[in-house]
Amino acid sequence: MWVAQQDVGKLELVCPDSGSRDGTVDRLRAAGARIPAIARGSFNHGETRNRAVAVTTADFVILSVQDAVPVSTAVARELVAPLVRDPGLAATYGRQQPRPGCHPVLVERIGGWAGGSEPVVQELRGRAWDALEPLQRLALVRYDHVLACVRRTAWEKQRFEPADFGEDVRWAARVVRGGGRIAFAPAAVVEHSHERSAFDEARRIYCDHANLRELVGLVAVPSRKAIPGNVAAARAHYRALVEAHTDVDATTRALWLAWGDKLAEYENWAQYLGARCSRRWWFAPVDHWLRRGI
């Protein structure tokens, strides 16, 4: 679908690869893509994207992932248009639409992070970063490389950090804190969601909250004493989300309920440990284990 995008001229297609053996490289070459080779042992999300952007020549570079599918031929145009209209914008990002059959909990989360129907421009507007609450800061750095477009000059000024996780939010924080602006473009939409175990979903939450403590000062679970009450509240909420779906069979509902119950417990520990322990030297072996393969 990317090669079919309209009203933006011919797209340069660049797809970094770190050793695929399933025919991916052949299919990419057939589509006319350039394929920077990334040594498997040296892969990280930030530097891989830097290498991909570096071999392009356009003023605006769209960033996405292999399992995000544009829902129309206008996605590229909708991402680029705000950057053309407003030379002060550093980047845009689009909306994510969950795949059919996505767990209701994840539908809610995707909507909260990469959903919405109204355009938003994220900027400090003269406010002092240190005077903002963590959730206010979080709203300013919302940005996701599942679907985004960066102005080349903004990327040249501040390249992505060589981070194993969250390179997009880390970059957004530097841009906004430096007086830059990022825009949400809700008319640019990709279909994107995952089916992971509750534990793997919680591992990503752990990584998120390690980053968010560092970037915006967010501590969602202030103490271990808060965890039991949080778990109970989360389980009740997740069960309500599942029960609201009357169009699924009993087996699916049972699986959804069990997954939500597990996530409610795992995620609270993930939030607590990510914010409180991830940077401590004595926690390093567990930190490495939780981050493996993320």
Which pLDDT score is estimated for 24?
76
| 150 and 20, same domain (yes or no) | yes
Which pLDDT score is estimated for 14?
87
Q: Which long-range contacts (CB under 8 A, 24 or more apart) does 250-258 make?
A: 256/103, 256/104
| 103 and 243, same domain (yes or no) | no
Domain final residue, candidates 191, 223, 253: 191
Cα separation of 141 and 178, whole Å? 12
Report how many domains make up the chain.
2
Domain final residue, candidates 191, 218, 249: 191
Which pLDDT score is estimated for 83?
98
Cα separation of 152 and 26, whole Å? 28
pTM metric for this prediction:
0.93
| 149 and 243, same domain (yes or no) | no
| 55 and 151, same domain (yes or no) | yes
CATH number of the domain encompassing residue 90: 3.90.550.10
Which pLDDT score is estimated for 44?
87
Which pLDDT score is estimated for 215?
97
| 183 and 204, same domain (yes or no) | no
Ramachandran region, residue 182 (left: φ > 0; alpha: ψ -120 to 50; beta: rest): beta
Q: Which domain holds residue 183?
A: 2-191
| 88 and 227, same domain (yes or no) | no
Residues of the chain with pLDDT under 50: none
Domain final residue, candidates 164, 191, 218: 191
Which pLDDT score is estimated for 32?
74
Q: Which residues neighbour 30 within 8 Å (Cβ) at sequence distance 6 or greater?
A: none
| 257 and 235, same domain (yes or no) | yes
Cα separation of 167 and 73, whole Å? 27
| 94 and 202, same domain (yes or no) | no
| 156 and 82, same domain (yes or no) | yes
Which pLDDT score is estimated for 20?
74
| 16 and 103, same domain (yes or no) | yes
| 212 and 278, same domain (yes or no) | yes
| 154 and 15, same domain (yes or no) | yes
Cα separation of 243 and 91, whole Å? 39
